[in-house]
Structure 1
Amino acid sequence: MRVLGIETSCDETGVAVYDTERGLAADALHSQIAMHAEYGGVVPELASRDHTRRLLPLIGRVLDEAGLCRADLDAIAYTAGPGLVGALMVGASTAHGLARALDIPVLGVHHMEGHLLAPMLEASPPAFPFVALLVSGGHTQLVEVAGLGRYRLLGESVDDAAGEAFDKAAKMLGLDYPGGPAVARLAEDGDPARLRFPRPMTDRPGLDFSFSGLKTHTLTAIRRLEADGALDQAARADVARAFEEAVVDTLVIKCRRALDATGLKRLVVAGGVSANVRLRDRLAREADKRAATVYYPRGRFCTDNGAMIAYVGTQRLLAGERDTLGEMKAVPRWPMDGLQPPEEG
């Protein structure tokens, strides 16, 4: 089966073809970061318009790279949510239009399920069951994964996601969008001993996260330094380092608790923040202590991409799932606990 995957949930247009015989046949991604940087964040209307401009040319490019034509496709998968409704509609309408023209099945899939299973595209994928940390601009969740669609939410952020907190900290420090990589770069020059920020919700049991208080603490620290006339470049780097250390420590502590609570030895980390070097280093050390293994998608699949959508769509299409043609799905808010295994769908 050859499945075209389309991802348009936010500010990246992703397209890929997954072949059950060849694996990932081709993929391409267009990032809107440069366009949105001028505004300091994603502008939904601009995102939707850019997806409209980019999607069909990207589909043509991916098919060419895979050595296929549209008639060679057996099905289409697209991101149905969660995400920006206008952006989702671009992908959904394109997928349904092509599927109708080609008379093939089409299926809307869950964006976060794509991230969750993105490591399955690697040469050494994790076996079920495992614990997954989904950490991005919109989500911070710990999930126990027993199989496709068999997910148990262990904990999630009660306010800001980790990636969202990174973006807000970057704005406080006068850094460019996107905030996560900018804060991480500045933190490399910071003194880890100068400032210590709180590790939210780690002083109590449980696996939920909270980053709004850390955001407020960061703003207070910056204003105090400004009032003292001490917010120079070195101080900004120290704030960035303290902020990053607090986020990383919090994520690592919660992952450790999740592994201990489930007794599992496999941890999947996915989503944009999973590319953070300090987070990967700390998780590697924690895994070594527990004889556990950490799995990541390759770098370009940490952010939103079409490959993860093509893969998840393929697995569910093989089980017989599909949309009714013409009934497009665009679900801005779609909790993962509403997903079911294919045989129960």
Structure 2
Amino acid sequence: MPHLPPDLPGDLTVLGLETSCDETAASVVRLKASGAVEVLSSVVGSQIAAHAPYGGVVPEIAARAHVESIDGIAAEAMRAAGVSYGDLSGVAATAGPGLVGGVMVGLAFGKAVALARGLPLVAVNHLEGHAVSARLAADIPYPFLLLLVSGGHCQLLAVEGVGQCRRLGSTIDDAAGEAFDKIAKTLGLPYPGGPALEKLAATGDPAGYTLPRALLGRDGYDFSFSGLKTAAARLAEGVTTETERANLAAAVQAAIARQLSERTEKAMDAYARAREGQPLRFVVAGGVAANGAVRAALTRIATERGFSFDAPPLAYCTDNAAMIALAGAERLARGMTDRLDAPARPRWPLDAEAAAANPTHLAGRKGAKA
């Protein structure tokens, strides 16, 4: 667990703000000198109803909704935590990556609080929030191997410590969560598609359809879901019965879980060789970590390879501000703060060196947010 430097006050109480996509969230988290983490409040304002008619997130609608609700959401988080602004040690706000209009709203609100109250600001990478999200409810010391898998991201990372993430692999096209959502849409399922597809898949037979397997025989730990998405969309055109829909949903879910586990399995083997004799820890985080089939597949390979397995509680798998507050508190404990001119970033890789040396997406191309 994290320990505070001796020249800083014992406990840190941080207000976290998250507005990178379609959830307006605020949370108050206390990081104690012992390293224990206490979530005092976590409030999430959903925009599902606003985006449902469009079958996906509309950036302009999301940004306007954040503007309308951020003040009330933050006030509710403070009230639920039983603290005042005078009790805070700092403010942490997502500064990217994400839909930049939404990111600007939360970051600007965080800057206003920091300026008005004379508090330090921590501009948090949204992906780093996911990286620490499992630590909100469990004692998971650094280092660990992380699979970050969500609607906009799919990466394997070696997390060595606070702000120390080394990218091992990433999606070369679509993220797993995007594949879930887009395929769900082709099957006529309601938004958000991922949970709806999982529910339908529970009644289906994954052997009912054969889907392509990407990157077989390819070195490294990258992912690819574009081919699967296209193949499933074509098959969906011929689906006529509820049984066929359920079977296709089950086949898609199994294919995504298989690719995630196969690529992670390779990364686990390399990670274990590099850390022979040391504790082996594996964490999966992000919205797709809530999928039962994915969790089961990853739990199995972790157990087989001698890794501990951890995932955030379901409430902290999807976007939330508690993970942003904790990431901010861990940085604040080490004196890692930001100026009030910290920019909002639509793209912000956790491993900048790897992103520069081996970019997975070229400028101007559509792809995962990272």
Instruction: Identify the TM-score tier after normalising by the shorter chain.
Output: over 0.9
Match of 1:14 among 14, 25, 44: 25
Letter in 1 for 2:255: A
Aligned to 1:233: 242
Q: Distance in 1 between matches of 2:110 and 2:118?
A: 12
Unaligned regions of 5+ residues in structure 1, if any? 341-345
The alpha-carbon deviation at position 192 of structure 1 amounts to 2.2
| Partner SS for 1:186 | helix
Q: Which residue of 1 aligns with 2:198?
A: 184
Candidates 242, 246, 254, aligned match of 2:255: 246
SS in 1 for 2:282: strand
Amino acid at match of 1:232: T
**Equivalences for 1:150-189 in 2 at 5 Å?**
150-189=164-203
CA displacement, residues 157-199 of structure 1 (integer Å, 9 cap, x when unaligned): 0000000111110111111111111111111111122212122
Matches within 5 A, 1:166-315: 166-223=180-237, 225=238, 231-263=240-272, 265-315=280-330
Larger mean CA deviation between 239-248 and 288-297 belongs to 288-297
Aligned position for 2:105 = 90
CA RMSD of aligned residues (A): 1.5
Return 5+ residue gaps in structure 2 as ranges: 1-11, 355-370
Deviation at 1:76, TM superposition (A): 0.5
Where in structure 2 are the equivalents of 1:53-202 lying within 5 Å?
A: 53-122=68-137, 124-202=138-216
Q: Secondary structure, in 3 states, of the residue corresponding to 2:206? A: coil
Question: Which secondary structure does the structure 2 equivalent of 1:107 belong to?
Answer: strand
Identity of aligned residues (%): 46
Q: Return the match for 1:330 from 332, 338, 344.
A: 344
Rounded Cα–Cα distance in structure 2 between residues aligned with 1:130 and 1:243? 29
Residues 77, 109 of structure 1: 8 Å contact kept: yes
SS of the residue aligned with 2:213? coil
Contact 1:149 1:339 in 2 (8 A): no
Contact kept? 1:8, 1:79, Cα under 8 Å: yes
CA distance in 2, matches of 1:324, 1:155: 31
* Aligned match for 1:2, one of 7, 13, 20: 13
C-alpha separation in 2, matches of 1:146 and 1:107: 20
Q: SS at the partner of 1:153?
A: strand
Distance 1:322 1:290 in 2: 38
TM-score when scaled to structure 2?
A: 0.87
**Cα contact 1:202–1:250 (8 A) shared by 2:** no
Q: How far does residue 339 in structure 1 lie from its aligned partner after superposition?
A: 8.5
Runs of 4+ displaced beyond 4 Å: none
- Aligned pair count? 333
Aligned amino acid, residue 321 of structure 2: G
Inter-partner Cα distance in structure 2 for 1:129 and 1:75: 26
Normalised to the residue count of structure 1, the TM-score between the two structures is: 0.93
1:38 and 2:47 matched = no
